[in-house]
Amino acid sequence: MKFDVVIIGGGLAGLTCGISLQRKGRRCAIVSAGQSALHFSSGYFDFLDRTADGKAVENPLDAVSALPEGHPYRKIGVEDLERYMGEVKPLFAGCGIELKGDWSRNCYRITPVGGVCPSWLCLGEFTPFTTAQAEVGRNVMVVNIPGYMDFNARFVAAGLEKRGAACRIVDVTVDELSGLRANPSEMRSSNIARLMDSGHVAVRFAEAVRMKLSGEDAVVLPAVFGLKDSSVPQKVAEIIGVRTEYVATMTPSVPGIRTQMRLRAAFERLGGTYILGDTVMPSEIRDGRVVCLSTVNFGNEKLYADAFVLAAGSFFSNGLAASRECVTEPVFGLDVHAADDRSKWGDMDFFKRQEYIGFGVKSDADFHAVKDGVSVSNLYVAGSVAGGYNPIAEGSGAGTAIMSAMSVAEHIISKIG
């Protein structure tokens, strides 16, 4: 089967790249072994939250020049970065995904444990707070859904109180949710959201919240609304009638799943082919090029293309593999940035900077993958499989995924036509 471009990995990077290419009329296929890291998203896209010494970044573009050479943002360069950043909101809006915030500066978000963190843009139900105070209200009612364990109302309330709000935690539920409670392992965000999507349940829930208000000027709810119908969070807020803030839950992330589904649907609407549940097998690089890929399911039928993109994610998605001795890239055996000294991989203190998070595939200035020290002319890397940066320490996961994907799409178009 022949395409213009075949992309390995259908998460944020693979889909952004595929959508950009399809919009320019290139025929793409995406092969994705399983669902992506978007299922764990906080609902906020990070671009560059912190400097190397841990200070919150205000204007991400200004901080780019201080990044080490070889960082994906340095490869793209400030000029192109600025252009891509401006294109992100319209690109996602075209896929039915509302992003809020000012792309030229960072915002703040409330974390699932009630703290405050810098971030960049956020999905429609969230608020891009402009100050680190992230004030929700003076008197806040934090809603706990009994039986739902993946949202900790106490932590959130404690965090808000530390920043000067008075909080009251209130249990709210509706009959329709009692079925889920019968099976505690299934009281999950996606199941709650699915029920809420059938309009009347959300309305009844919102009314129940409103009834519990006693003078509060704001409500905090877990982000378990709007799995398919993104208008639900807004409707619920309107019924409640006071300021309503959604706070991210533990996985799975309802806003993240919705985003994944909409990106995929947009890619398919543009004529792209999305193949889920299939794994690209170890493939050959011959004379500095990739000719075709084999997958587990396709058997003898190969996937041919002029260009290939590796957007297979990090360790979590199996885009990288670690053994006791070394870190490898399983599909092509590409060169990988990694500390040679095993003891430098990680810090036993879980909350410290973990070097292994910064491991990833080496690429040249145009994101061509590098094997045995030589660039592969028609293979590009995008997203968290790429090395040269530490997405967790610096807070740059979605930003690097989207920016590298947009850049790779442009390189492919300028090179292959």
Ligand X SMILES: Cc1cc2nc3c(=O)[nH]c(=O)nc-3n(C[C@H](O)[C@H](O)[C@H](O)COP(=O)(O)OP(=O)(O)OC[C@H]3O[C@@H](n4cnc5c(N)ncnc54)[C@H](O)[C@@H]3O)c2cc1C
Q: C-alpha angle 298/303/307, rounded to 5°?
A: 155
User: In angstroms, rounded to a whole number, what is the distance separating the alpha carbons of residues 346 and 363?
Assistant: 23
- Residue 317 sits in the site that holds ligand X (CB under 6 A): yes
- Regarding 40 and contact with another protein (CB under 8 A), the answer is yes
- Which of another protein, ligand X, none binds 185 (CB below 5-8 Å, type-dependent)? another protein
Termini Cα distance of the chain: 20
Residues between 240 and 269 with contacts to another protein, criterion CB under 8 A: 251-252, 257, 268
Candidates 27-35, 68-76, 320-328, 341-349: pick the segment binding ligand X (CB under 6 A): 27-35
Judged by CB under 6 A, the stretch of 21-29, 34-42, 124-132, 160-168 that binds ligand X is: 34-42
Stretch that binds another protein, among 27-35, 43-51, 67-75, 210-218 (CB under 8 A): 27-35
Q: Of these partners, ligand X, another protein, none, which one is at the site of residue 182 (CB under 5 to 8 Å by kind)?
A: another protein
Q: Which of 22, 41, 230, 363 binds ligand X (CB under 6 A)?
A: 41
Q: Which is nearer to another protein, 122 or 275 (CB)?
A: 275
Site for ligand X in 245-284 (CB under 6 A): 279-280
412 binds ligand X (CB under 6 A): no
Phi, psi of 364 (to 5 degrees): -85, -170
Regarding 173 and contact with another protein (CB under 8 A), the answer is no
Give the nearer residue to another protein in terms of CB position, either 94 or 179. 179
Q: Which does 387 bind (CB under 5 to 8 A by kind): another protein, ligand X, none?
A: none
The type of residue at 252 is P
Give residue 256's identity as a one-letter amino acid code. G
279 touching another protein, by CB under 8 A: yes
Residue 53 C-beta: closest distance to another protein, Å:
32
For position 311 contacting ligand X by CB under 6 A, the verdict is yes
Neighbours of 53 (CB within 10 A): 6
Q: Does 318 bind ligand X (CB under 6 A)?
A: yes
What, of ligand X, another protein, none, does residue 355 touch, CB below 5 to 8 Å by kind?
none
Binding partner at 353 among ligand X, another protein, none, C-beta below 5 to 8 Å by kind: none
Q: Measured from the CB of residue 43, what is the shortest distance to ligand X in angstroms?
A: 7
- Residue 330, preceding peptide bond in cis (omega within 30° of 0): no
User: Interface with ligand X includes 60 (CB under 6 A)?
Assistant: no
Does 192 help bind another protein (rule: CB under 8 A)?
no
Q: What are the residues binding ligand X (CB under 6 A)?
A: 8-14, 31-38, 40-42, 44-46, 279-280, 311-313, 316-319, 331, 383-384, 391, 397-398, 401
Q: What are the residues binding another protein (CB under 8 A)?
A: 1, 33-36, 39-40, 179-180, 182-183, 185-186, 188, 190-191, 194, 251-252, 257, 268, 273, 275-279, 295-301, 316-318
